[in-house]
Structure formats: C-alpha cells, structure tokens
Structure 1
Amino acid sequence: MDRQEKLIESIKKHGVRFDTYDDLDAIVEAAGYKEFVLLGESSHGTSEFYTIRAEITRRLIEEKGFAIIAVEGDWPSCFTVNQYIKGFIQGDARSSLKDFDRWPTWMWANEEVLELVKWLKDYNDLAKTKVGFYGLDVYSLWESMEEIINVLEKISPENVESAKTAFACFEPFDRRGENYAISSAYYGEDCTEEVIRVLIDLQKKRKSYPKDKEGDLNLEVNSLVMLDAERYYRAMAKGGAEDWNIRDTHMVSALEKIMLAHGNGAKAVIWEHNTHIGDARATDMAEEGLINVGQILREKYGEKVFALGFGTHHGTVIASKEWGGAVEAMELPNAQSGSWEDSMHRAAAHDQYLLFSKDNEMEFSEVIDHRAVGVVYHPEMEHLGNYVPSRMAKRYDGFIYIDETSALVPLKY
C-alpha cells in the first residue's frame, strides 16, 4: 500500500459524513469551550464556506456564549455592520454592507453574509449580550484616518491639526497603497513622522475617548490601523516576508483589543482564509520566514485556540483574473492528483469532516499539497502556485471538506 492509499484509508476511518447542519454537533462541541475559534476557507469566493461558517457561528453564539465575530475585512466597513446589528445606527442589512466598496468587494458584500447580518440583527434585538462584528485587516489607511479626524474634531479640536496634516501627507498617493509603497521605497518620501505625531496626540487624549457605542474601541483600532498600514505599505515594495508578517501580526493585535474591550470570558469566532488561520509552522510558509494568525494565537494562547480548515474537490468559484479586475464565476477544476483534496474525494465523494487528535495525528502529519485559491485566480495555471505543502493535523484542529462547491453570490446595488 503506497503513501496516498494509506492516507485514504485513514480518511475513511476517521472521516465523518455530514448531510445537514445538525451533523456538525461534534465540531460545535470541540470548538465551544475555546476562546478563539478560527474558521478558514480555501478560497474567498465559495458559497458553502460562508454558509457553513455562518451556521457554526450561529450555534457558537446561541449555545456556547460567543459574542465576537472578527473577519478578514477592513475595520471601518465592518464597524458599520457592527453599529447596525447593535442598533446604534438605523437602516437595513443590505445598506449596512454598502461600505464594503474596496476591491474585492464580494468578500463581504455578498448574499451569504447578508443573511448572517439579518440573523445577527434579529438576535441582538432580543439578546442581553449583543454580538459584535469587527474587521481585523490592515488596508484601510485612508478610511481609518478620516474616522480619527472625525472623532478628534468632537473630543479634541485642538489636536485635530496633526491628524489633518498626516492625512494631507498621504493625499498625493491617490488612496493607493502601492503608490505610497513605491514612494517610500524608492524616493525616500514617507509620512512616518506625521503618523507618529498623531498617535502621540491620541495617547495624550486616551481618557477622553468616547465610551458611547464603542467609540473608544473604534478610535483605538483605527489608530492601530493607521500605524500598521503605514508600516505595511512601506514594506510592500521591499519584497520578502515583512509585509505579510506586519499584516498578520496586526490582525492579532486588533483581535486582542476587541477581546479586551469585551472583558473577561470573551470568546471570538474568526473568519479568514486558511493561509491565515492554519498554523504557518505546519507549511512551507515557515521556510520563507512567514508567520500567521493561527501560529501567533497558538503560541500565545495554546489550548484556547481551535482552527478549522475548509476545502473542496471541484465546483465553481468567484474570483478575478487580475488584481482590481472584474469579478467572474469560474470553474474550479478537480483537485490535483495526490493532493489532500484529491485524497478526501477518493476516500468518499461526499461532504465530510475530520477532527484531529493525539490518537490520529500521526496518520495526518505527512506533508501533502493542499489547495489555496485567492481573489486573483487562473484555473488553468493553479498547479503552478495554488497548492501549499502542509502537515494537516498540525496545521488545523479539524477540517471540513465539501466535495462540490458553488460560487459566492455578490450583492448588487
């Protein structure tokens, strides 16, 4: 029996078929007593990944006391959703997603997320402990600075000039991070001093942060975004691991600020791509000097973390052929022969999940290729760069496999 045949037999032995959401009880139980539940995805454009994550999230909220949803999205646009579902602003679920206007808009402005937002609003209207929806990403430099200026004009007009000066420093770059990256790397023109000046002024006014409607948390995380986004864009043009590591370290820092704001006993569900939530030490990312959210959280919080990977064998997916390009539904070809997804399919061509444990981890710890699809995707070329060598039982605590998947449905306004 060769290596893959042994793996297939192990999947048959430990895999659990599921046909309805009720069949996911074991996953909810395994995750329910953790503080950080990381729910992944092997693409940013697969409907089933979103709907299954939403169902697991609902159950963790209702049955296990989770009150934080943190996603791979921009803080300002996610905070609009947060304000809506908590009743701090008026409107409707669809309009609360309009702020997701930075490409790739479909990641969060989609029909699947819309249904979750509707449910969260209904839940919060009746709940004593309201669930929050927050963005962890680092990209929203300009939007975060605008929010800082808006808040400072209300709580500290005498300090708003430093923020306006910093904003003016970034304005020539046309709200494009790559323009700032090139300027700082090749022409020595950056806005680092201006950013630091704003942060010093904000620190002096910390006691004045608005407490109403999470205004203090909003200002604190926007300040963190401003600091780390400037660092991130400066690192972009240099190549190497630094920009990736700044981004994932930022996402953990933002998450920790959210957890702190929610107090003792806070429990969070995190939605991000597998490349962020699956422990980087169990992949070839480690050889490139890359760290990620899953690794950092495991190193800091150990057994309080539960990471669930997601994958599929074939179907359709939403993506673009180039960065900033038009979105389209594409065919997702059959998984590459010998890959993790191919092995799952050969073991059983139906939806199933695995929970990794000390009893079976040796059976799933050999390196195997594991598919990862980004927002830019070329199906005909995926064998050249869409597979991450991984030790599955060390990368995740569990894995959900959907045999055939369908494309996400972007919102139309």
Structure 2
Amino acid sequence: MALPLEEESDLNPLLDRIGDARCVLLGEASHGTHEYYAWRAALSRRLIAEHGFSFVAVEGDWPDCWEINRSVTTGDRDPRDVLDGYRRWPTWMWANQETVNFCRWLRDHNAGRPGGAGFYGLDVYSLWESLRAVIDHLAVHRPEYVETALAAYQCFEPHNEDPQSYAFAPDDCTDEVLALVTRLRRTTSADDLNAAGRTTSADDLNVLQNAEVAVGADRYYRAMLGGGSRSWNIRDIHMADTLDRLLDHHGDDSRAIVWAHNTHVGDARATTMADAGMVNLGQLVRERHGRERTVIVGFAGGAGEVVAAPRWGDPMEIMPVPAARPGSLEALLCKEAPHHSLYIFADDPDAAWLTSTLGQRAIGVVYDPLRDYRNSVPTRLGDRYDALCWFHRTTALQPLHMEAAQQGELETLPTGV
C-alpha cells in the first residue's frame, strides 16, 4: 500500500518500522537528485533528534568527512565552508546545498551536547591524503612511528598521486602500508589504551582509520586492473569494516545511519550482483548485525533531472532523466503510485511486485540519458530493501561550485556508483 510522503510527519510509519534497529541504511538511485538527498536528511534528522542515533556515515572520503565531523561536533567552522572546499571529482556528491543544510542542522543540534552526533566517510579513495594525515599526527604524538609512515608514503610517492600509475606499476606498497596499520592497530587497541590509563579518543580513531584507508586503497587500486568483482568487494568490505569500527568507537549502545547509493545499501543477494560474485554493504551489515537490527530503505524516482557527467572526470551537467522503461519498477510505480509515496514492505511482504524481479534504475556519476536502458539493476524489491521512498518526478541536486580538474581516479564498476 502506498503511503503519502509529502511532509516530515509522513515518515512516522517508517520510524515505527525502524524501531530499535541499530543500523539504518538509506539509499539513492542517483548521486545527483534533490529528492533523495533532502528526504534522507529529513529522516536522519528525526532519527538523531528523536531516537538518539549516534552518527551518519556516508559514501565519501574519510579525510574530507572528518573535517565535516569536526565542524558539526565542535562548531569551529561553518559546514558550508568545509563542503565548498571539496575538490575530488565528483565534487557535487557532497559539495551541495542539500548536504550543507543537513550539516548546519546537525551542528546546531550538537551545540551544548557533549560529543554530539558525528559525520564520517566510509570510502577508500583518499590514499595520499590519508597517509599525509597519519604522518602529521605521528610527528606530533608518536614520533617513534614516523619512520614507518614515511616508508609507506615514499613507496607511493613516485606515482605522483596518480592511482592509474600505481595500479600499473610492477611493484606494490602492500608490505609498507600493512606494517604501518599493524603498529597503529596495536597502539589504539583497547588493551593498550587501558594499560595507559585512557580510552579511545577522536584522534586515535582518525589516525587508525586513515591508515586503514591506505591499506584498503592499496588493495582496491591493484585489484581494479583485474576486472571482475574483486575491486568492488574490497571497497564494500572496507565500508562495512569502517562502519563496525565507528560503532565500536561510539560504544555498545551506538546506532548508525548510512547514506550511500542503492547499489551499496540494497542487499546484493536480491539482485544480479550476486550472480557476478559481488557482495555489498547492505548484505554485509545484515549478515554481521542481523536482519532484525538492520533496516534498509531504497529510493526510486521517475522522469525529471539529475546532476551527472557524460564521461568519467568530465564537468557536471544537469541532464534529463527519461520516462521509465516498460516493465521496470519505475514504470509500475508511475502507473500505480501518488506523486511521492512511502512503501513499507512488512505491510504486504508477499505482494507479487515485491517477490518478482523488476529492473530498478541506477544512475551513477556518469550517465547518458540516451542509454538509460543500461542503468538498470534486476531486483527482488522485498528482499533488497525493507522500505522504499518513491518520487514520481525528480529535480536536480544543487551543487556549490563547478568542477575541479580530473584527478586521475580509476572508474568504479558498475559505472560511477
């Protein structure tokens, strides 16, 4: 049954479905649609303010999101200034007005609250930035470890911060980054900290996670050239491990909100991704934390506009999104659903449209409206998600600035998500 989704109070049935879940994963069918970002933010605000959720973790780089985390928990900078400084392509994913509005709300909500709800990045791309952050931290706090960190950085240095150069190189830096993260894992372990008479601090979390990013990025970039599912799996396992690390850091009673594309948060076992040997974040969270303590909310939309790029690394454009293809999930919902609708699958779990396989649109950062038919993931909706937010017509995200130059990132597979 379609429930109305026009005002924030219309989220009440979804909040009831979430109940005492520890992890709530909120998707998007594109990286450039206003409605997905705005309604994820609306639900997240209520989860934080009314149900005490501990943090939001997004499909973004750890160092950049750490600066956002500092701004929303300490109030030392306007989140807009931090987000406007994003320069890694595609900047519009987080340097947009919708994210600014949420982060400003989060900063105001946290004011006067010790600790406050955080904002973190789960992704694996920030290899060089993360290594520099580790070196800077160790130079001040653990100078005896600087040599190990420098050995890792110097191994990567000849590649001039070009992932493709590193991916094609005959020699890797795996031993160097593993040596670094092994030392840092020991010094930030609970036993070591207890012996030193202190608990894990934000600085401990930051330096360890930056080292973990270096390990993950090393594996990811080397795997990209081999094709297949391995690089995708490395990335999503890294995101799941990061989420678990954040939950551990925030304590036994912590609760997490995740923002990422449907291809990451929707259970891969309910799609053809599983046939290709791929796992994803949603599947891993359900397996690790239990389906009863995990709620996954998918997002879908009909025709409208989206911010994307025609090719990897190109400047962003506002592109048209065509009408839904016959036989797709979007075509079904365009025919049956009101303008904005909420579906909670526990209300009718055996409905044919939830158990049959339908194509669901998946737009990445790279998109060609004339080949929209390629952007479809065959999906058993009732197994992939626990609920769905539907928008009959969509509008473009509001980027803060134009694109910077391409920085040589290897294209993600499936394309741009």
TM-score, structure 1 normalization: 0.92
Aligned-residue identity in percent: 42
State the AA in 2 paired with 1:234: R
Alignment check: 8 A CA contact 2:309 2:365 kept: yes
Match of 1:390 among 370, 379, 399: 379
1:312 aligns with 2:301: yes
Alignment check: 8 A CA contact 2:73 2:115 kept: no
Deviation at 1:47, TM superposition (A): 0.6
State the AA in 1 paired with 2:83: L
Helix, strand or coil for the counterpart of 1:126? Answer: coil
Task: Tell me how far apart the structure 2 counterparts of residues 93 and 211 of structure 1 sit (CA, whole Å).
Answer: 28
Q: Which residue of 1 aligns with 2:134?
A: 148
Task: Tell me how far apart the structure 1 counterparts of residues 337 and 351 of structure 2 sit (CA, whole Å).
Answer: 21
Helix, strand or coil for the counterpart of 1:97? Answer: helix
Q: Which residue of 2 aligns with 1:356?
A: 345
Query: Structure 1: 5+ residue runs without aligned partners?
Result: 1-13
- Residues 157-198 of structure 1: CA deviation (Å, up to 9, x unaligned): 122122112112112222122221122xxxx22111211222
Once the two structures are overlaid, the 10-residue window that deviates more, 198-207 or 223-232, is 198-207
Alignment check: 8 A CA contact 1:178 1:236 kept: no
Alignment check: 8 A CA contact 1:277 1:294 kept: yes
Deviation at 1:349, TM superposition (A): 4.5
Deviation at 1:90, TM superposition (A): 2.1
Deviation at 1:23, TM superposition (A): 1.3
1:29 aligns with 2:19: no
Task: Tell me how far apart the structure 2 counterparts of residues 360 and 133 of structure 1 sit (CA, whole Å).
Answer: 33
Task: Tell me how far apart the structure 1 counterparts of residues 29 and 304 of structure 2 sit (CA, whole Å).
Answer: 13
Alignment CA distance shift 1:286-1:154 (3 Å): same
Q: Which residue of 1 aligns with 2:182?
A: 200
Q: 1:39-78 alignment to 2 at 5 Å?
A: 39-78=26-65
1:217 aligns with 2:208: no
Q: Which residue of 2 aligns with 1:281?
A: 269
Task: Tell me how far apart the structure 2 counterparts of residues 19 and 57 of structure 1 sit (CA, whole Å).
Answer: 16
Alignment check: 8 A CA contact 2:2 2:338 kept: no
Q: Which residue of 2 aligns with 1:298?
A: 286
Match of 2:104 among 118, 141, 149: 118
Alignment check: 8 A CA contact 2:72 2:103 kept: yes
Superposition RMSD in Å: 1.7
State the AA in 2 paired with 1:403: H
Once the two structures are overlaid, the 10-residue window that deviates more, 218-227 or 191-200, is 191-200
Task: Tell me how far apart the structure 2 counterparts of residues 250 and 133 of structure 1 sit (CA, whole Å).
Answer: 17
Match of 2:360 among 345, 364, 370: 370
- Residues 105-151 of structure 1: CA deviation (Å, up to 9, x unaligned): 11001000000111011000033551000000011111110111011
1:342 aligns with 2:331: yes
Helix, strand or coil for the counterpart of 1:309? Answer: strand
Q: 1:13-24 alignment to 2 at 5 Å?
A: 14-24=1-11
Match of 2:91 among 105, 128, 136: 105
- Residues 191-234 of structure 1: CA deviation (Å, up to 9, x unaligned): 11211222233245334799686101111211111111101111
Deviation at 1:373, TM superposition (A): 0.2
Match of 2:143 among 145, 148, 157: 157
Deviation at 1:350, TM superposition (A): 1.1
State the AA in 1 paired with 2:267: D
Task: Tell me how far apart the structure 2 counterparts of residues 99 and 138 of structure 1 sit (CA, whole Å).
Answer: 19
Helix, strand or coil for the counterpart of 2:392? Answer: strand
Once the two structures are overlaid, the 10-residue window that deviates more, 93-102 or 197-206, is 197-206
State the AA in 2 paired with 1:54: A
Alignment check: 8 A CA contact 1:67 1:129 kept: no
Task: Tell me how far apart the structure 2 counterparts of residues 390 and 127 of structure 1 sit (CA, whole Å).
Answer: 42
Task: Tell me how far apart the structure 2 counterparts of residues 270 and 382 of structure 1 sit (CA, whole Å).
Answer: 27
Alignment check: 8 A CA contact 1:361 1:394 kept: no
Q: Which residue of 1 aligns with 2:395?
A: 406
Alignment check: 8 A CA contact 1:68 1:268 kept: yes
Q: 1:167-246 alignment to 2 at 5 Å?
A: 167-183=153-169, 188-206=170-188, 207=192, 214-246=202-234
State the AA in 2 paired with 1:60: L
Alignment check: 8 A CA contact 2:322 2:372 kept: no
Task: Tell me how far apart the structure 1 counterparts of residues 331 and 310 of structure 2 sit (CA, whole Å).
Answer: 25
Match of 1:83 among 62, 66, 70: 70
1:255 aligns with 2:237: no
Helix, strand or coil for the counterpart of 2:60? Answer: coil
Alignment check: 8 A CA contact 1:276 1:294 kept: yes
Deviation at 1:300, TM superposition (A): 1.6
TM-score, structure 2 normalization: 0.91
Once the two structures are overlaid, the 10-residue window that deviates more, 228-237 or 209-218, is 209-218
Helix, strand or coil for the counterpart of 2:303? Answer: strand
State the AA in 2 paired with 1:394: D
Alignment check: 8 A CA contact 2:302 2:391 kept: yes
Task: Tell me how far apart the structure 2 counterparts of residues 204 and 278 of structure 1 sit (CA, whole Å).
Answer: 34
Deviation at 1:264, TM superposition (A): 1.4
Q: Which residue of 2 aligns with 1:135?
A: 121
Task: Tell me how far apart the structure 1 counterparts of residues 250 and 76 of structure 2 sit (CA, whole Å).
Answer: 23
Deviation at 1:313, TM superposition (A): 0.7
Task: Tell me how far apart the structure 1 counterparts of residues 32 and 348 of structure 2 sit (CA, whole Å).
Answer: 34
Once the two structures are overlaid, the 10-residue window that deviates more, 327-336 or 202-211, is 202-211
1:325 aligns with 2:307: no
Task: Tell me how far apart the structure 2 counterparts of residues 181 and 62 of structure 1 sit (CA, whole Å).
Answer: 44
Alignment CA distance shift 1:213-1:121 (3 Å): farther
Alignment check: 8 A CA contact 1:32 1:60 kept: no
Query: Structure 2: 5+ residue runs without aligned partners?
Result: 403-417
Alignment CA distance shift 1:180-1:221 (3 Å): same
